[in-house]
Copies of this chain bind each other. A is one copy, B any other.
Amino acid sequence: MPDQMAIREVAFGKITGVFKRHGAVSIDTPVFELSRETLMGKYGEDSKLIYDLADQGGEILSLRYDLTVPFARFVALHGVGNIKRYHIAKVYRRDQPQMARGRFREFFQCDFDIAGSYPSMVPDAEVLKVLVEILDDLQLGEYEIKLNHRLLLDSMLDIAGVPPQKFRPICSAIDKLDKEPWEVVRAEMVEEKGLPGHVADRIGEFVVLRGQPLELLEKLTEAAHPLAQHPDSAVALEELRTMFGFLQSMGALGPIVFDLSLARGLDYYTGVIYEAVLKGGNVGSIAAGGRYDKLVGMFSGKDVPAVGVSIGIERVFAIMEAQLRLQAEQQAGGTIRETETEALVASIGGGMQPRRMRICSELWASGIKAEFGYKANPKMPDQLGYALKQGIPYMVLFGESEVEAGVVKIKDLDAGTEEVVAEVGRGLDGSPSDA
């Protein structure tokens, strides 16, 4: 619907504004992915949601499922050494394929990624800075960015006594902690995934740890702390120390919450992981991402380290729409504006169409967004009603007397004031102004 599209455009504008401010380029990867097999290897269970094209002769194609895998393929295929890119585009998933009438689903994703070999944590910090700027600019409400590190998670499981082959299933149980209480997650670990109770309890001691990044880091790096002693987590903590310093330099540390319970589902993350959530609400994550150093190598055999974030843009649209509907209800019109029209050129009396068109053209030529009525002899209440309904702030008005005097009235609908101004000279094509 047009009002929803108008909201999308505002969101897209703000988000791409941030990307461009950071010197990111835009690339467009194909909607078609070459083979289902390539995709299957990346998405695991979820690959049943992939759309295939019919075999009409030629390669078997699928529609893209996300923007990260096509980006990794792009980097691999073109031998890109380093790139900072954004991509806002539709992805396609067969939602609820178990239903008889498999519904189709298409929705926008919005990704920002930096690929390339760089000094530790520099791109990671910039990705987070970009995320902070976007969430600040969108003004969706108070938010926090939960942050963890894959190596911390793995070390913590190792320390607790989880065998390596159970790291991923246990991680996916931990991942549920934002929705379920510890008791439920603990039960899943012990009853479903066969963890001894004392091992689960040890995990429980770690995952409650969350706090201001530098404070929690201080605590975890105390010599006696098991995470400071484990070789993998020691590396991770050192990386985080570097990154927190960078974030502080960029004024982006404020919304970060260091949270040992964060365990993003996707397998391909190798370093920092993060997830932004609105505080107080119950809307779930509005952005998420992390470092994935091995994904490009799955296509080319040659690793290109990368880090990125995906904005949950459809959720952002929904929140903005709700905010705007609330605002609109509290105001007179009661609708969200569909257009950006600044002026309606209106007239009283018959035979004024060419004149409305000419005056409108003068406004267009000056870069003013303007409309004229299409009816041959439109009634003033209809024209005023249209302007109010559409939220158009100004009307340019004229009737016989204004034509004779060579003037137009400019009505400010918000202020309720009217001003008479001299009409601008001649038609654009040089025809007399009463053409």
Binding site for B on A (CB under 8 A): 1-2, 5-6, 8-9, 20-28, 30-32, 51-59, 61, 83, 85, 90, 92, 94, 97, 99-104, 106, 116, 118-119, 122-123, 125, 129, 133, 245-246, 248-254, 338-341, 353-355, 357-358, 360-361, 364-365, 367-371, 374-376, 390, 427-429, 431, 435
A85 to chain B, nearest CB (A): 7
Is A251 in contact with B429, judged by CB distance below 8 angstroms? yes
CA separation between A22 and B364, bound complex, in Å? 8
- A59 proximity list for chain B (CB < 8 A): 101-102, 104
Determine how many copies of this chain the complex contains: 2
Is B375 in contact with A119, judged by CB distance below 8 angstroms? yes
Is there an interface contact between A51 and B57, defined as CB atoms closer than 8 Å?
no
B51 lies within 8 A of A53 (CB): yes
- Complex Cα spacing A402 to B3, Å: 51
- Complex Cα gap A246–B92 (Å): 45
Given contacts A106-B32, A246-B357, contact A119 B53 (CB under 8 A): no
Contact B361 A100 (CB under 8 A): no
Known: A251-B429, A361-B250. A340 touches B2 (CB 8 A): no
Chain B residues within 8 Å of A125, by CB: 357
Contact A427 B6 (CB under 8 A): no
Q: What is the CB-to-nearest-CB distance from A187 to chain B, in angstroms, rounded to a whole number? A: 35
Contact A435–B101 (Cβ < 8 Å): no
- Complex CA–CA separation, A118 to B378 (angstroms): 12
Q: How far is the CB of A134 from chain B (nearest CB, A)?
A: 12
Please name all residues of chain B whose beta carbon is closer than 8 Å to the beta carbon of A365 when the two chains form the complex. Answer: 251
Given contacts A361-B249, A367-B21, A374-B118, contact A104 B54 (CB under 8 A): no
B106:A21 contact, CB within 8 angstroms: no
CB-defined contacts of A61 to chain B, threshold 8 Å:
104
A100–B99 CA distance with the chains assembled, in angstroms: 35
| Given A248-B435, A250-B357; A23-B371 close (CB under 8 Å) | yes
Give the distance in Å from the alpha carbon of A56 to the alpha carbon of B101 in the complex.
10
Chain A interface main SS type: loop
B358, A250: Cβ atoms closer than 8 Å = yes
A371 to B341: give the CA distance in the assembly, Å: 35
| B residues in contact with A101, CB < 8 Å | 58-59
A368–B21 CB distance below 8 A: yes
Contacting residues, chain B, for A103 (C-beta < 8 A): 58
Q: Do A354 and B85 touch (CB < 8 A)? A: no
Tell me which of B85, B92, B249, B376 contacts A358 (CB under 8 A).
Answer: B249
Given contacts A248-B435, A249-B435, 18 further A-B contacts (CB under 8 A): A2-B26, A2-B85, A8-B28, A9-B26, A21-B367, A22-B364, A23-B340, A23-B370, A31-B90, A31-B92, A32-B106, A52-B53, A133-B364, A248-B354, A248-B427, A250-B357, A251-B358, A251-B427
